[in-house]
Structure 1
Amino acid sequence: MKYALNEKELEFISQSNQEWLNLLIELAKIPAPSHKEDKRAEFCKKWLEHNGARNVTIDEAKNVVYPVNCENAEEITVFMAHTDVVFEDEKEFDVQVRDGKVFAPGVGDDTANVVNLLMCAKYVTQNKMQPENGFLFVMNSCEEGLGNLKGSKKIMEDYGSRVKEFVSLDGHIGSCVSKAVGSQRYKVTVTTEGGHSYSDFGNRNAIYYLSSMIQTLYAVKAPQKEKTTYNVGIISGGTSVNTIAEKASMLYEFRSLDKECLKQMEDFFWAVLDSYRKMDIGVSVEVVGMRPCSGDIDEQKLESFTEKNKEIIRYYYDTELDLEAGSTDSNIPLSLGVPANTVGTTKGGGAHTRGEWIEIDGVETGMKISMAMVLSYFKR
């Protein structure tokens, strides 16, 4: 295989198992809610610098950015893995090692992938390797939930048209995402006069009108051009059992692989809300998340790029690949026409639960995939 690792590179991986595990445990302890990744960012920066990296910065989005030969490069390849986790904890996580596994919230999504990228950066740095063009290691912020891909957006804003290819390490071994599921997320709040359930009986109830609105939104026939979904995930409101609610809210989203389908869902959404406003119901909207789907992209370049990454994954992990579309950091470059893949490099389960785990015996396989992909851009 053209991109196979050589003996020296394989030896580095086999001799790094304990260092890898120690780094994972140390990093996994550090809390990192979206928008509050400061402690993990500082840890990653110091670790890189301790291992010889120079010009490492933390940008305004709390991305840890390590550029290699990027200053004058016309073309740049970006490799990133996100530091944030879905949990809002700001106290240290409990990390447990037992039965050949490491257990911790966020340990697989995406801490172990971050460790793989850090170890690749260490190898490149300590061996003074130079990329064919520019190369960017990024431990990025805000991939999860309402992080709204802030970190990925910042990288694409800063490096723009110079970014020619983009890889996000995220998920489990065998996955290779090349299609972006776009999503739009809103908090909708309905307000009425409300009142006392007995003395003001007959006043309008915000909960009633919110529930009616939800039923109307669910009456839509989803576009069929590409898979399109919608969901109300949270509802809240009211004061007490004997109060006519004057305020009620919901979190609503719709998703699709296709821009036209998203636009149809958006048009329906606003039409429903306008119909309630015309009934003199108070309706306010807060945009809580926008993730674009794929934009205009050279399909031949994307296919060639994806085939290369699939070849590397298959070489080190002989299994059927998961090529499902996803909502990941790759959404941003794909929306801008840049070939991008999100590739998994860990083995485990329980993502987005406090019992999440990764298998220690999958470490070398994940490292081989990560290293082979990264080093394919370096002079060897």
Structure 2
Amino acid sequence: MLYKYEEDYVEQEADYSIELLKQLATIPAPSYHEEKRAQFCKQWFKERGIETTIDKMNNVVIKMFDDNQDIAVFCGHLDVVFADMEPLKITQKGNYLYGPGVGDDTANVVHLMQVIHYIHLHHLHGKTGVLFVLNTCEEGLGNSNGCRYIVEQYKNRIKSFISFDGYLNQCTNSAVGSKRYRLTVHCQGGHSYADFGKENAIETLSKIMYELSHQQIPTEAKTTYNFGKIEGGTTINAIASTATLLYEYRSSMQNCLDIMEKQFQEIVSHYSNVEIEILGVRPGNGLLNREKFEKFTDHNMRLIKEYYLDDVEKCANGTDSNIPLSYGICANTIGTLMGEKAHTYDEWIDLDSYKIGFKVMMNIILEYFRD
């Protein structure tokens, strides 16, 4: 549990925290274009005397370790799923805050910023080395490349990893792996009347989608596929010469991923005019010390439940924790708010849960700074 003066900090900062959230959430941040948010956060830390760096992936990094120390990593991702480059619209109605990306993951990032500020204010020193990261490229085709860059730098020194993302009622303790493709069908095309009968790229792509949607889905673990985006053709009276599909499949079990890959390759092999490009591979779980990992997860669950009194579910998700888990590093993804409609423009969070989540994050991180 937090000490009273630690809870007092949460109470004192609660209103400001919501205003900071509103401010940060308006800043557009598509994956690979998080520069404005990164600079905003760097300036915010600078004004409070906290030394930060921005690395080549635009991750905002705060290092609290010596060269020979093992490291605990805490991160939250700056990017949102939307491609908007203009300011995002954030509105408050009563105790609810609405806007794209407001919960995923901006609210968690704001909590992390304020916990870092608290540690700096009180000159706390970690029991181990600590690395804080406001990372980029978690969403979509970002492929967790911001987190991947961090983990690949320090993988031999990272002993624990916590990503703050999602909701209070979930603790991610298993990686949902995925593979993502761009399929492009090429054909000659032509005039819709004069050349009727020639192959149409859109029609061919539709046949591929039909076959993919009728494949046998493995049942050993939850396994999914998705047609995320289709494009093709030029106009209504022309036979389409190209058509493109973004396709992914996911599973929490590697064997299921292997089955999906085999079926995918069999289906597309029937078409000679399909260009296949791999867009991203998110790894699944690596070889973990199960006893150590279960102890790590159960301890984090207890810390969450000290302030969040409803049920908390251990679950599998595709998050930044995929990367450390693939290296066998103990990693959880934990949320610090409640809300709904993530990945939509109508996303909302419950501000009544926001202070609870603030305390949860304080409770988890300060464990690494107490004797």
**Equivalent residue runs for 1:203-242 within 5 Å:** 203-242=198-237
Q: Secondary structure at the match of 2:317?
A: coil
Is the aligned partner of 1:296 residue 2:290?
no
Partner residue of 2:102? 107
Q: Secondary structure at the match of 2:275?
A: strand
Partner residue of 1:77? 72
Looking at structure 2, the residues matched to 47 and 71 of structure 1 have their Cα atoms a distance apart, in angstroms, of 26
Bigger Cα displacement from structure 2, 229-238 vs 84-93: 229-238
Out of 33, 38, 46, the position equivalent to 1:36 is 33
Out of 160, 181, 188, the position equivalent to 1:186 is 181
Looking at structure 2, the residues matched to 207 and 273 of structure 1 have their Cα atoms a distance apart, in angstroms, of 15
Question: Are the aligned partners of 1:70 and 1:76 in contact in 2 as well (CA < 8 Å)?
Answer: no
Stretches of structure 1 that go unaligned for 5 or more consecutive residues are none
Is the aligned partner of 1:18 residue 2:15?
yes
Superposed displacement of residue 247, structure 1: 1.3
Partner residue of 1:66? 62
Partner residue of 1:27? 24
- For the structure 1 residues 361 and 150, does the alpha-carbon distance in structure 2 shift closer, same or farther, using more than 3 Å as the test? same
Looking at structure 1, the residues matched to 189 and 87 of structure 2 have their Cα atoms a distance apart, in angstroms, of 43
Looking at structure 1, the residues matched to 66 and 313 of structure 2 have their Cα atoms a distance apart, in angstroms, of 32
The residue identity in structure 1 corresponding to 2:102 is: V
- For the structure 1 residues 129 and 147, does the alpha-carbon distance in structure 2 shift closer, same or farther, using more than 3 Å as the test? same
Superposed displacement of residue 162, structure 1: 0.6
Q: Secondary structure at the match of 1:161?
A: coil
**Equivalent residue runs for 1:108-187 within 5 Å:** 108-187=103-182
Task: Using structure 2 for the length normalisation, give the TM-score.
Answer: 0.96
Out of 360, 370, 379, the position equivalent to 2:361 is 370
Looking at structure 1, the residues matched to 37 and 202 of structure 2 have their Cα atoms a distance apart, in angstroms, of 41
Is the aligned partner of 1:96 residue 2:91?
yes
Superposed displacement of residue 70, structure 1: 4.1
Looking at structure 2, the residues matched to 174 and 194 of structure 1 have their Cα atoms a distance apart, in angstroms, of 52
Question: Are the aligned partners of 2:53 and 2:62 in contact in 1 as well (CA < 8 Å)?
Answer: yes
Question: Are the aligned partners of 2:175 and 2:325 in contact in 1 as well (CA < 8 Å)?
Answer: yes
Question: Are the aligned partners of 1:52 and 1:126 in contact in 2 as well (CA < 8 Å)?
Answer: no
Superposed displacement of residue 244, structure 1: 2.0
Looking at structure 2, the residues matched to 122 and 43 of structure 1 have their Cα atoms a distance apart, in angstroms, of 15
Superposed displacement of residue 117, structure 1: 0.4
**Equivalent residue runs for 1:283-362 within 5 Å:** 283-362=274-353
Two-structure CA RMSD over aligned residues (Å): 1.5
Q: Show CA shifts across 1:186-240 (max 9, x none).
A: 1101111221222223322222222222222233212233222222232221233
Looking at structure 1, the residues matched to 154 and 102 of structure 2 have their Cα atoms a distance apart, in angstroms, of 29
- For the structure 1 residues 70 and 87, does the alpha-carbon distance in structure 2 shift closer, same or farther, using more than 3 Å as the test? farther
Q: Secondary structure at the match of 1:65?
A: strand
Looking at structure 1, the residues matched to 29 and 143 of structure 2 have their Cα atoms a distance apart, in angstroms, of 15
Stretches of structure 2 that go unaligned for 5 or more consecutive residues are none
Q: Secondary structure at the match of 2:281?
A: strand
Partner residue of 1:47? 44
Superposed displacement of residue 275, structure 1: 2.1
- Taking every aligned residue pair, what percent have the same amino acid on both sides? 44
Looking at structure 1, the residues matched to 225 and 338 of structure 2 have their Cα atoms a distance apart, in angstroms, of 30
Superposed displacement of residue 96, structure 1: 2.3
Q: Secondary structure at the match of 1:142?
A: coil
Partner residue of 2:194? 199
Q: How many residues align?
A: 371
Out of 260, 266, 269, the position equivalent to 1:274 is 269
Q: Secondary structure at the match of 1:188?
A: strand
Task: Using structure 1 for the length normalisation, give the TM-score.
Answer: 0.94
- For the structure 1 residues 70 and 366, does the alpha-carbon distance in structure 2 shift closer, same or farther, using more than 3 Å as the test? farther
Question: Are the aligned partners of 1:181 and 1:327 in contact in 2 as well (CA < 8 Å)?
Answer: yes
The residue identity in structure 1 corresponding to 2:356 is: T
Question: Are the aligned partners of 2:108 and 2:335 in contact in 1 as well (CA < 8 Å)?
Answer: yes
Question: Are the aligned partners of 1:52 and 1:122 in contact in 2 as well (CA < 8 Å)?
Answer: no
- For the structure 1 residues 213 and 81, does the alpha-carbon distance in structure 2 shift closer, same or farther, using more than 3 Å as the test? same
Superposed displacement of residue 82, structure 1: 0.7
Looking at structure 2, the residues matched to 260 and 349 of structure 1 have their Cα atoms a distance apart, in angstroms, of 31
